[in-house]
Amino acid sequence: MAEGKTNWAMGTPAALYIIGASCFGLFALLSGQVSGDAIPVMAAWLIAAAVGIFICGIVDLARGDILLGTIFVVFATLIFLGGGLSFNAILALGAAAGAGFALSGWIWLAIGIILLLLLPSVGRASWSLFVFVLVLAVAVLMLALGFISGPVLGTGLMLWSGILIGLFGLYTLYVGTVFLLNTVAGAPKLGIGGPIFK
C-alpha cells in the first residue's frame, strides 16, 4: 500500500465495511438461511454496495494505493455490480435460468483466478490479508463450480461457499476497524500482521 499522492483520506475503511456487510447477506443466501426468493433483494444490496466500493477504489487509486484501489475497483465492478445485475438477469430468464447460472459460473471462475493472482501482492502487505484473500478465492471457486453444475442453496458447494464468504466478511469488518481506529488515534492500536513475502 503506497504513500498517498493527494490530501484525501483513504477510502479503505468504508469499502471494507461495505464489503463485510454484503458478505453477511451472501452468507445468508448461499448457506440457505434465507430462500432463493430473496435473490432480487440481495441483488439490490450488491448493486448499491458496488457504487460505494467503486468510489472508495478510485479514491485509493488517486492516493497512489495500487493494491487496494485495484482490489476495490475489481470487487465493485465484477463481484458487486456484475453479481447483482446477473442475479436479476438470471431470474428474468425463467426456464432458461440454468444456462444463465452456468455462464455466470464461468465468470465467477475467472474472478476466483483473479483473487489467486492477487495473493503474491497481498502477501507483501499482510499475512492475514493473504490468508483471507485465499479463503475468499476458495469460496468464489466453489461458487463458480456450484453455478456451473446447477446451484442448490444451502447444500454442498453453495453452503461451504457461503460459510467462507461469511468468514471473509467478518475479517473485512475487523480490518476496516483497524484502518479507521489507527488513523483516528494517530497511532497503531490494532494490527493485521506483517508481510509473509519480501
The DSSP code for 94 is G
What distance in Å separates the CA atoms of residue 166 and residue 3, rounded to the nearest whole number? 31
pLDDT of residue 194: 93
The band of 5, judged by pLDDT with boundaries at 50, 70 and 90, is low
Q: Would residue 39 count as lying in a domain?
A: yes
Q: Check if the beta carbon of residue 49 is closer than 8 Å to that of residue 77.
A: no
Which residue range(s) make up the domain with 24? 12-181
Q: Is residue 146 part of a domain?
A: yes
The C-alpha cell 453455478 sits at 147
Residue 143 pLDDT > 80: yes
C-alpha cell at 170: 467478518
Residue 1 forms part of a structural domain: no
What tens digit of pLDDT does each residue of 16-75 get? Answer: 999 999 999 999 999 999 998 999 999 999 999 999 999 999 999 999 999 999 999 999
Number of domains present in the structure of the chain: 1
pLDDT at 186: 87
User: CA 106 → CA 59, 102, 103, distances in Å?
Assistant: 30, 7, 5
Is 124 inside a domain boundary?
Answer: yes
Domain for residue 131, yes or no? yes
Of 69, 65, 63, 70, the closest CA to residue 6 belongs to: 63
* Residue linked to cell 467478518: 170
Coil/strand/helix, residue 5: coil
Asked whether residue 187 is assigned to any structural domain, the reply reads no
Whole-number mean pLDDT of the chain? 93
pLDDT at 150: 86
pTM over 0.85: yes
